Structure 1
C-alpha cells in the first residue's frame, strides 16, 4: 500500500526518469542473453547497458557494431528500444490503453504533458493519437521505399527487414544501422553516398522526426487552417536555415578533401554535404567518414549537434527554438531595444530566462563531462568534445572514440545520453525537493555588465 501511495505521489518528471531507466535496464538484460550475441556468448553487461542506453535515448553511439555483433533477436530488441525511446514509453502505454479502450487518467495526462513539453493538458490525448498515426505512417512509407531500393542489392526478404529496421531508426533519429560486417564494422550509409533515393528518404525521415509532432500536425492542417503558430514558424525557418547553411559550410570546408567528398562529382558533393548537414540534427547516420573530415568541419558539426532538433520531437540538443531566442536576444540587445520580437510576436521574459538557463545547464554538462573524460581517456580533445556533445544531443556521430572508451568513460557517456534524452530541466525537476512558494521578494540590486 505504501509503495503504491509513493508511486502516485511521484511527480511527472520523476515518473519519466524512472520509466526510461527501467526500460534501459530491461533492454540491457535482454542484450546480455547468449542468443542476442552473434558469437553465442554473452556480451559484457557494460556494453549491453551502453547499447540499451544509446537505443532508448535514440542516440546511436555504439561500442560494438550492431550489424555484425548481434543476432536478429538482439537487433529486434535494439529497434524496439529505439521505437519506445523515440516516441516515449508513455506514448506507447497510451497506445495500449487506446487499443483496449481504457480511460487515460489525470496522472497519465500530466506525464504525457511533461513528456511532450506542453503548456497544458488540453488536447494531449488527441495529440498522442496523431503522433502514433503520423509516426507509423511515415515509417511504413519509408520502409516500402527502402525495401524496393535494397531488393536489388540484398534480395527481397533481407531488404524488407532492413527497410523496416532503418525506417524506424532514421525517423526516431537514432542513427543505428545494420550495414556493418565483421571485416568492415561501423560503416553506416557510406556505401550509399551517391544514392539519391537512400539519401533523400533518410534525410526526410530525419527532418520529419526532428521538427516535432506539433509542427508536423500544424503543417498537415495548414491547407484548412491557413495558419501556423509562432512555434512552428520558428522551428521550420530555423531548421531550413541550419540545413542550408550547414550544407554550404561543409561543402566549402570539404570540397578538396579526397577522404570525404573531394573525390565525388559535383552532384555527389552537394548530396553528401546536405546529408552531413542534416544528420547532426541528432540523427547519427553518415555517408562519409566523419573521422576523416577536417577539424574545422568536425567543430562545426559539434555546434550543429549542440543546437539539435526541435521541442516535442525524437531529437535532442538545446533545440532550435532555444537557439532562435538566444540569437534574437543578442540582436535585440545590440539594437538597444527592450522587447524581443520574433515574427511580429513579443516573447515573455520567462521564455527568455528559460532559454538562457537551459543553454547554460547544457553547456555546463558538456564542459564537465569533457573535462572528466580528458583525464580518463587517451584521446585528442576534439574527439572527446565531439563524443560528449554527440551523447548529450543524442546524435550518435563519432570520430572514432566510442569503441575505445574505458569502463568509466562508457558509464559517463551513458549518463550523458540519459540526461540529453530527458533534458536538463526534467532531470532537475525530478531530483529537486518539493519547492514551497516564496512569501517575500528581496530588494532589487544592480551589477555592472560588460
Structure 2
C-alpha cells in the first residue's frame, strides 16, 4: 500500500516513464475539464456540465476533435482559448511543454525528465533529447505561423481582420496537431473547393503526422538515399495510403449528390485528396461524412485505424506498424527467414512490437464497439464502428452520432480517446521491457503447432 502525503514525489513513488505520461495527460485533461466547466467558458453563461467538459477536454488534449457541442457556437472566447491551449499542449506533449518552461527558467533537465521525454517522443536513445525538444518547439511554432498566415489570407476577406487572423491561428494549430477542432461550425465544408484552405491544412496535417524524426531527417539529409530506413518506410507507407484513399473516395463518391456529385471536376479532385489526408487523424472534413457510401466509410475506417507515424501528433497504430506487418507477411509468402526492405533487415522484435500494438488496438476497438452497440441502440453498427475507431485513433471524424451519445457512451469514448493517445505506444514499450527482462535467463523447449 502506498501512502501519499504532501512531500511525496514522482521519484519516491518509483513511477516509470509510461506511468508518468499517463498521470500527466490525465491531470491535464482534468484541469482542462475544470476550466471548460466554468460558466464563463460558455456563450450562454451556464456550465456545460462536467461530463461534457471532460469529453471536450479529453478530445482536445488527445488531439481528437470529436465534439458533443458545436465548438463555434457554444464556447465563449475564453472556452475557445482553453481548447486551443489544450490542443497545443496535447499535440506537442506535456513533457515537451514542461521542458520548454524548464529551459526558460534555466532549470536543469534531469535523467528522469529525459526518460519521460524519450517515451513521449518515441526515441531509441537518450542522447540529443533536449536538442530534439528545442527543434520540436521551434519547428512547430514556425510551421503553425506559416500555416496561420496563409489561412488568414482566405479568412480575413470573409470574417474581417481580427476574426480572420484568429481563425487562421486556431485552424493552423488544430491542423498541425492533427486535432480537427474548427471554429467555422461545419468544419471545412464551406471551403471544399478552396485551394489555399485545402492545400494549407492538408500540408499541415501531413507534416504533423510524419513525425519530428522524419522531417529532421528530410531537412538535414538532402539526398533520399541517405534517409534512415524509418524515414523511407514512413514516406512510402504514407504515400501509398494517400493514393489509395484518394482514388477510392474519388471513384466511390464521384456521382454521390450528397458528397462529390455536385462539385466541379477540379473540386472533386481537391475534396477527394483532402478526405484521403484527414483520416490520418486530423478530423477535418470538407464533405458530409454521414452521407458517404458504406464502402467509403469502411475505407476511411481502415485509414483512421492505421493513422500517422511514430513521434508525431497523429494517432492510430502508426504507418511503420502496418508496414512492418505487411513486410513480415511478404517474407512468409516468399519463404524468407528475415523481414527485408530496401536492402535492410527489420528485427523480429520490432515485428512482434508492431503485432502487439495492432492486436491491442483491435481488441480495444472491438470491446468499445460492443459496449456502444448496447448503450447507443439507436445508432447503426457502421456509425458506431466509425465513431469508435475515430476516437481510438484520435481522428475526430464522425457520422453525426457524437452529440447524441448517452452519458455512458460519452464516458466510454472519453476513455477510448485517452487510451488511443497513450495506450498502444506505452503498452508496446512495456511488453518490450518485460521481454528483455527474461532475455538470456532460460528458454523452453520448442515444439511445433499447425497454423493456417
TM-score, with structure 2 as normaliser: 0.95
Alignment of 1:383-394 (within 5 A): 383-394=383-394
**Deviation per CA, 1:13-50, whole angstroms, max 9, x where unpaired?**
01000000000000000001111001100001100000
1:290/1:114 Cα in 2 relative to 1: closer, same or farther (>3 Å)? same
Aligned to 1:183: none
Aligned counterpart, 2:355: 356
Q: Separation in 2 of the partners of 1:280 and 1:189? A: 14
Q: Who is 2:417 aligned against? A: 417
Q: Distance in 2 between matches of 1:5 and 1:348?
A: 34
Q: In structure 2, do the counterparts of structure 1 residues 105 and 154 end up closer, same or farther at CA, with 3 Å as the change threshold? A: same
Residues of 2 paired with 1:40 and 1:95: CA distance?
Answer: 34
Q: Report SS of the residue matched to 2:398.
A: coil
**Is the 1:11–1:430 Cα contact (8 Å) retained in structure 2?**
no
Contact 2:357 2:427 in 1 (8 A): no
1:311 corresponds to: 310
Task: List 4+ stretches of structure 1 deviating above 6 A.
Answer: 428-436
Matches within 5 A, 1:248-397: 248-378=247-377, 379-397=379-397
Q: Distance in 1 between matches of 2:299 and 2:285?
A: 15
Aligned residue number for residue 230 of structure 2: 231
Q: Is contact 1:173-1:282 (8 Å) kept?
A: yes
Q: Does 1:176 align with 2:181?
A: yes
TM-score normalized with structure 1 length = 0.96
Alpha-carbon displacement from aligned partner over 1:214-244 (angstroms, at most 9, x marks no partner): 0011111123897210000000111111111
Matches within 5 A, 1:3-152: 3-4=8-9, 7=12, 9-152=14-157
Q: Which structure 1 residue ranges, 5 or more long, are not aligned?
A: 181-186
Match of 2:3 in 1: none
Return closer, same or farther for 1:139/1:249 CA change in 2, 3 Å cut-off.
same
Q: Which residue of 2 aligns with 1:405?
A: 405
Measured in 2, the distance between the counterparts of 1:425 and 1:89 equals: 16
Q: Is the 8 A contact 1:419 1:427 kept in 2?
A: no
How far off is 1:269 after superposition? 0.4
Separation (CA, whole Å) in 1 of partners of 2:128 and 2:216: 13
Q: Aligned with 1:260: secondary structure? A: coil
| Alpha-carbon distance in 2 for matches of 1:435, 1:329 | 20
**Residues 237 and 323, structure 2, Cα contact 8 Å, conserved in 1:** yes
Report the RMSD for the aligned CA atoms in angstroms. 1.8
Taking the aligned partners of 2:78 and 2:266, their CA distance within structure 1 comes to: 39
Distance in 2 (CA, whole Å) between partners of 1:430 and 1:35 is 42
CA distance in 2, matches of 1:430, 1:410: 28
Q: What SS does the aligned partner of 1:3 have?
A: coil
Residues 237/421 of structure 1: CA separation in 2 closer, same or farther (3 Å cut): same
The count of corresponding residues between Structure 1 and Structure 2 is: 444
Question: Which residue number in structure 1 is paired with residue 187 of structure 2?
Answer: 188
Partner Cα distance (1:286, 1:107) in 2:
40
Q: Deviations over 1:298-344 (max 9, x none)?
A: 01000000000000000000000001111111111111111110111
Give the drift of 1:448: 0.5
Residues 366-421 of structure 1: per-residue CA shift (max 9 Å, x gap): 01100111111021000000000000000000001101101110111011100100
Asked whether 1:448 is paired with 2:450, we answer: yes
- The 5 A counterparts of 1:433-444 are 437-438=437-438, 439-444=441-446
Gaps of 5+ in 2: 1-5
Task: Please report how far the alpha carbon of residue 440 of structure 1 lies from its aligned counterpart in structure 2 after TM superposition.
Answer: 2.7
Task: Describe the SS at the equivalent of 1:346.
Answer: strand
Shifted more, 403-412 versus 226-235: the winner is 226-235
Q: Tell me the distance in 2 between the aligned counterparts of 1:387 and 1:42.
A: 26
How far did 1:97 drift?
1.3
**Aligned equivalents of 1:17, 1:133: Cα separation in 2:** 25
1:325–1:225 distance in 2 versus 1, CA, 3 Å: closer
* Partner secondary structure for residue 341 of structure 1: strand
